Amino acid sequence: MTHYPVGKAKSLAFGILFVLSTLASAQQWPVKPVRIVVPFPPGQGADLVGRLLAERLTPVLGQQVIVDNRPGAGSMIGTESVAKAAPDGYTLLIGGTSAMVINPNLFAKLGYDTLRDFAPVTNVAALAFVFCVNPALPARSITDLVKIAKRRPGEISFGSSGVGAANHLTQELFASNAGIKLTHVPYKGAVPSLTDLISGQIALVAETTTTVLPHLKSGRIRAIGVSPIKRIPFLPDVATLDEQGVKGFDVTAWAGLVAPAGTPAPILDRLNSEVVAAVKTPEVQKRMQDLALVPIADSREQFGAFLKAELGKWAIAAKLSGAKVE
């Protein structure tokens, strides 16, 4: 029989009691409302995903699931609040491309660390970037655009939602991979950049599917490529960049569910199971299709590996763009 010093025995006993208490709490979870923090204003993509999850999780968890919009500082305020929240399963975050993998590569001082401070639950949905040109530009494909840009280095201008925005870095990554030089014109959001694309002030914009679909249907702009490795169902006739010679190009915006690091595994497993089941229902699939979202709903392990890969990918894009914020 092993004998421990009194102090060590007390510490061991306390540790065992803490583990048992944590397991008991996890098994009883949830016993009060659950909060999903969205670090953006109502109506944006992450907010729509958060509200969809809240609606579906409330009945299966037996507790109200509430969306808490906490916008500000480029999604950092809401994201940091969850990083510092109690890891008890009652505060969750809709984390996306900007908050989780771009900001860590842009800001020298950030109040959270994606891999250290968060526990992945599941990546819920993805949103493609569509490369669009003004119809006056004689480019009907990415291949055409690359040929023009090589003949006229630096003359082709592209718009973005701002320096360091996901679509800015996406287009910088494209230019680097295609071996061409483009000129960046930053805007304060998608609407002014698309307005200038339509009027011919700039030649190219890569924006999310939801944003560009109305303009594509009206014929005011032309789609010449999509950013994921596979074609998207909303624009089945538009080839991927990979298909058009920019080999290996695979970029999407995405929205996933994460919890504070240290959240008990049984709670994370339950959340993953419920969200994956919800996303697979015909009702949610239809809702996502209407929002031009591609459902994902992967495992905790797959989402964790994806986050690591995304951090590396956007680190390259941030370096290429030269964007850095102190």
Along the 326 residues of the chain, how does pLDDT read in single tens digits? 556 566 555 555 454 544 444 455 577 999 999 999 999 888 888 899 999 999 999 999 999 999 999 998 878 999 999 999 999 999 999 999 999 999 999 998 899 999 999 999 999 999 999 999 999 999 999 999 999 999 999 999 999 988 888 999 999 999 999 999 999 999 988 899 999 999 999 999 999 998 899 999 999 999 999 999 999 999 999 999 999 999 999 999 999 999 999 999 999 999 999 999 999 999 999 999 998 999 999 999 999 999 999 999 999 999 988 876 65
Where does CATH 3.40.190.10 sit in the chain? 128-226
Both tokens of 313, joined, read 């990918």
Residues 6+ apart with CB under 8 A from 11: none
Residue holding tokens 């209407």? 290
Taking alpha carbons only, the member of 232, 212, 211 closest to residue 221 is 212
| pLDDT of 324 | 67
| pLDDT of 40 | 87
Q: Which CATH architecture has domain 7-127+253-321?
A: 3-Layer(aba) Sandwich (3.40)
| pLDDT of 189 | 84
Asked if residues 255 and 49 have their Cβ atoms less than 8 Å apart, the reply is yes
Residues 6+ apart with CB under 8 A from 262: 87, 119
Taking alpha carbons only, the member of 129, 145, 292 closest to residue 207 is 129
Where does CATH 3.40.190.150 sit in the chain? 7-127+253-321
| pLDDT of 20 | 43
DSSP state of 221: S
**CATH number belonging to domain 128-226:** 3.40.190.10
Work out whether strand 204-208 and strand 118-133 pair parallel, antiparallel, or are unpaired. Answer: antiparallel
Task: State which amino acid sits at residue 266.
Answer: P
